[in-house]
Homo-oligomer: A and B are copies of this chain.
Amino acid sequence: MFNGINDDKLREECGVIGIYKSDTESVAQHVYFGLYSLQHRGQESAGIATNNGTQTHYHKGMGLVPEVFNDETLGKLKGHIGIGHVRYSTTGESYVENAQPLSVRYKGGSISLAHNGNLVNTKAIRSQLEDDGVVFQTTIDSEVIVNLIARYSNDGIEYAIKRTMDQIKGAYALVVMTEDSVFGVRDPLGLRPLCLGSIEGGYVLASESCALETMGATLIRDIEPGEIIRISKEGTFSIYYTKESKKNVCIFEYIYFARPDSVMENISIYESRKNAGRILAKEHPVDADMVIAVPDSSIPAAIGYAEESGIPFGEGLMKNRYVGRTFIQPTQSMRELAVRLKLTPLKQNVNGKRLIMIDDSIVRGTTSKQIVESLKAAGAKEVHVRIVSPPVAYSCYFGIDTPDRTQLLGANKTIEEIRNFIGADSLAYISLEGLVESTGLNNEQFCLACFNGNYPIEVSNI
């Protein structure tokens, strides 16, 4: 795809679903609905694996959930246990071989696994396993994890998962399916989200609570950091990897990744974003005629900013809903226009106005620059950019696709330089304290490494 109309955003790498529903012969549609709601977490590939107690079925493919599955393929996915996965589309190589869930046979039977997150010691473990004669067919962490579980499975699958957690370091929210159970596993720091819901006849696991709604389930609670929850015909049963686990949830879920209608750690994403807008208004007020959002993710914050500041909220940018994954290669003269195809300034509403433009983050700054330019070209008298996160200055190693530090504006430029680069009349970021405050939790409960470089796990030799 022509890059000029891509967003300049950090990217979540996956979403997972798990379900055990004793009163049905097929949970495939439930998983399908759940994945549909998590589509924002990954658009590269999708997959579902199901089990009816004796046999595992799976189907996966490149593309969006409705492209990968149809009535026929779903119909073949028999079974009352199921897991699913959506994967993010990186710009580089993407193979169907790397799609998840990964289903394997091991001595204990069959096991399927889907993973959201990123391990930081994969290389070392792979090397160790290779020394033991293991061969790897993919480059995904799931293959490493499933090999460990199989190896440790002599004393039962729960124990095997626990021992696997001794080995792997990094961020992981896992759903694991066997012939009789589905497991939810969250890393000891809780870096990636995973929640539990109840449904008639069983239980559901999902990366975000918004998926529960569309599956007909009700949110019970988040899976705890370090918790291993087993769902089977006996109901739910939890063991903990460690009691000392400490929450370090990824704050970017609150800023951008999660859907506004999700609830994480008992906090409404929508509320926290609106709060952040209010705090931003207090921290960085500016006189203006209208508060606008870069759609869609920044709308709650813009509403919050507007309410706090008393400056009216309005729409200043139209998002073309039909811009998808294919686009022609524009000629030189059309390149600039291609950008506007995706986000068009609402000329009549911005012309002659002083605008406060709310965006959730700036990564490379290229899109921000283009938007500010197009607003000015549409007649905006002033464009004051307000960002609902601090400058992103460090790469993430826990499941978020960040560019090299060399490309991160926040790591290399002063705020004034960035303002100058994007052409804004003023630029301000929310403070880290303000951001944390917006959630109602405190600093210790978050991984804030992308802002302050304090990685909760050693990442020196990755």
Instruction: Give residues in A with beta carbon < 8 Å to B.
Output: 29-30, 32-33, 36-37, 39-40, 43, 64-67, 69-71, 74, 96, 102-107, 111, 126-127, 130-137, 146-147, 150-151, 153, 210, 213-216, 259-261, 263, 268-271, 296, 299-300, 303, 307, 312-315, 318, 320-324, 326-331, 333-334, 337-338, 340-341, 344-349
A315 and B107 within 8 A (CB): no
Cβ–Cβ contact A307 & B312, under 8 A: yes
Please judge, given known A-B contacts A32-B328, A66-B324, whether A348 and B271 are in contact too, CB under 8 Å: yes
Copies of this chain: 4
Q: How many angstroms from the CA of A326 to the CA of B72 in the assembled complex?
A: 13
Q: Are A64 and B133 in contact (CB under 8 A)?
A: no
CB of A210 within 8 A of CB of B150, answer no
Given contacts A29-B331, A334-B33, contact A107 B131 (CB under 8 A): yes
Looking at the assembled complex, report how far the CB atom of A94 sits from the nearest CB atom of chain B, in whole angstroms.
13
Task: Say yes or no: A214 contacts B261, CB within 8 Å.
Answer: no
Q: In the complex, what residue of chain B is closest to A329 when comparing beta carbons?
A: B71
Inter-chain contact B348/A268, CB cutoff 8 Å: yes
Return chain B residues, CB-CB under 8 Å to A146. 135
Bound-state CA distance A104–B321 (Å) is 34
16 CB contacts below 8 A, A to B, read: A29-B328, A36-B322, A104-B137, A106-B134, A107-B127, A107-B131, A111-B135, A133-B153, A135-B147, A214-B337, A214-B340, A216-B334, A259-B318, A260-B315, A268-B349, A270-B315
Q: A150, B137: Cβ atoms under 8 Å? A: no
A268 to chain B: which residues have CB within 8 Å?
348-349
Residues from chain B with Cβ under 8 Å of A107 in the complex: 127, 130-131, 133
A209 (CB) vs chain B CBs: closest residue: B347
Shortest CB-to-CB span from A105 to chain B, Å, is 5
- Assess whether B314 is in contact with A303, with CB atoms less than 8 Å apart: yes
Q: How far is the CA of A102 from the CA of B216 in the complex (A)?
A: 41
Q: Which of B260, B321, B327 contacts A318 (CB 8 A)?
A: B260
Q: Which residues of B contact A96 (CB under 8 A)?
A: 96
Known: A107-B130, A259-B318. 6 other contacts (CB 8 A): A29-B334, A105-B126, A105-B136, A260-B346, A268-B349, A303-B312
A260 to chain B minimum Cβ distance, whole angstroms, is: 6
Task: Tell which of B40, B135, B326, B333 touches A67, judged by Cβ atoms closer than 8 Å.
Answer: B326
Cβ of A17 to closest chain B Cβ, rounded Å: 14
Give 4 closest A-B pairs by Cβ, nearest first: A268-B348, A133-B151, A107-B130, A104-B135
Inter-chain CA distance A36–B269, complex, in Å, is: 33
Query: Once the chains bind, are A261 and B36 in contact (CB under 8 Å)?
Result: no
Nearest CB in chain B to that of A76: its residue: B93
Closest beta carbon of chain B to A435's beta carbon, Å: 19
Distance in angstroms between the alpha carbons of A215 and B322 in the assembled complex: 16
Residue of B nearest to A272 (CB): B348
Residues of B within 8 A of A314 (CB): 303
Question: Given that A270-B348, A271-B349, A315-B300 are contacting pairs, would A324 and B64 also be in contact in the complex, using a CB cutoff of 8 Å?
Answer: yes
B130 touches A147 (CB 8 A): no
